[in-house]
Structure 1
Amino acid sequence: MMIILDNEHVLVNESDHAAVREVLDSLDLSGTGSAVAEYEDDLAFWFGVDHAIACSSGTAALHLALLALDVAVADEVIIPATAPVMTAMPVLAVGATPVFVDVATSTSFALDHGDLATKITPQTRAIIAVPMWGYPADGPDLVDVCKGWGIPIIEDAAQAHGTMVAEHYVGTRATVGCFSTHNRKLLSTGEGGFCLTADPAIAQRLRELRNVGKRPGEGFGAVFGLNYKLPSLSAALGRSQLARLGTRVADRRATLRSVTEHVAGMAGLEPFPIRSDGLPNGYSTLFRSSTGTARPIAERLGAAGVASDPLRYGYKALYQVPALARHAPATRCANAERLIETVVTIPCHEGVGPQHLGRIAAALRG
């Protein structure tokens, strides 16, 4: 059946049109236009950080972060086995080896510190944390542990705009926080991304890297770099949408609560646990099957026109993906595999209304 309800819900209003038209009329359209700098200033202010660096995608943001931290061939990067493929590909792009770590439990995306400790080696150059579907995952304890080891954290917050842990926005506690502004995200520029950091030296490196190695007062190629700039038109749209992000997150959270209350208990679905000091952003509503694999439930939802991301995108442990299979750990990540097997997502965007909740309920009843 044709999908009638998925997680993609782009909201564009007249303010967005006006912002894009203003830049279009200025003819200052490149990634070095003033609209980009203004967008970055607004991002830094909204998230409460010192530096925001806009770029062409969330994957580019991760690639830039790894390059800025000098991750290279023969280095290792820790990644949770529950992360999406997009998290791992930049690690391969810099020639490093992804090392997959289990999650703490089958109901958490937080890294298992015991498994993590066994996989740290002298070659470990970075640890990537990933709060999937905007659900708060790793807490301040991971930051403390990594400081003790002297290993930087990259937070892949591609889906987590506005998610909070311990009264801080996800993506602001790491050495570098990386975000996507793809069409599906709460802050959307169609394609795009940005990095957040408190470190001025890393911020400068990120800016040089995304602009073909150009330094102030020097030409391109002063250092290594790539063309990962965000166009001014996209920046103008992002800046306009950012002004409504707080409201959008609040609306999403309200819909998440509504979907959770409506669905909990149906077909053996239980709400996915939310850590006590965390607050999801409403990117999607997570449930877990208490009776076994969630695939039949997701298939029933799909047949009713309601998309569930794990089924739609073939969600699996990263080391089960063909391009990454040669990096599989000696011992499988049992918690991660169980989480992936039992998790279901249901959309909770602003377009989800009573008629959709009725369709979801009917599908779950069978």
Structure 2
Amino acid sequence: MFISKFRWVAPIALMLSASFLASCGLPGVGPTKNQIFAGSVQREGDAFVVAVNDRVTRATAVVPALGFSDTLRHASIQSADIIRPGDTLGLTIWENVDDGLLAGEASNATILESVQVDGSGFIFVPYAGRIKAAGNTPEAIRRIITEKLEDQTPDPQVQVRRTAGDGATVSILGSAGTQGVFPITRPTRTLASMLASAGGVGMSPEIAQITLTRGNQSETIWFEDLYDNPELDIALRDGDRILVEADQRSFTALGAAGSQTRLTFDTRTLSLVEALAQLGGLSPTTADPTGVFVFRNEPAEISNIVLGRNDLVGAQRLIYVLDLTEPNGLFVARDFLIRDGDTIYVTEAPIVQWNRTIASITGTLGGAQGLTTAATGGTLGE
């Protein structure tokens, strides 16, 4: 009789000790599911815990909207022959007289080579004076010089050509096929054509972003949008800077996921299922598929929709929870989009926490299994 009672008293005492140790907080990968729920606003915490359903996935399905402003999109195509400071011009001037202003007695043509455009954008032409060259095409400069000379010599004929210098240029940096400074020529007067001339992008087009900086203004577009929609292409200007880089959005994974790490997006839209796949799935030995959480600072406009309120102001801490074991669980996870800065946290299965607690008492996992056997009707001696 005494032995029979002892057989039950020992396991019960150990289980009570296990419960006490669990309440004291044993080592683990992070908070348990119950601890997360305990920190909710509904329980006087500081975060809203929301179970994800189809309504929530629709309300939170936000993808960064990238594109150029109307100011850039409506800019006209610029001539590829624009002269800039530092360029060198060649001038030929014909005069319709034997002894002209510039030409000698033996010739009615005057050739001026190596006329450099100064830092202020001007050139000097005898009898025509200082001419604004920078910002003009050779044809426009020809007309200006002709008008200046025709009052002093009959019917002057002028030819203007660039002999050195690239004229208008843009710089291409980042993960383009080729980096460098490129002249704006007739075939490369738009962003898409210039990128093609530079060898395209050196990464997956799906995550490539193109940022154009003009003066103090920078705007970004998805490369795929630029490629698929010719109407989004823009005209280039002298001095434009083009940066090609991969999508910089990222998320962090913790807990019992396949790995604990920080990863960047490998697609423009990334669902929770795809994010878990990037991580190698859930840990088959420790993960609790009923406790998959996504921590996010949600803008007020989305928070109010998700929570069915209209009084929230400023970013709110929201914790989205998914149960992948539900009949619709994987479909919901497939439709729930991950956003920049999200933290995905997978809780441990209760049995893992239990085994860790018992092992802390018995010293081995085998001791935990023996205690389970004893508690369910076996004997300590068996």
Mark yes or no: TM-score above 0.5: no
Question: Larger relative contact order (C-alpha < 8 A, sep ≥ 6)?
Answer: 1
Looking at secondary structure, tell me which structure has more strand per residue: 2
TM-score when normalising by structure 2: 0.20
Structure with the greater alpha carbon radius of gyration? 2
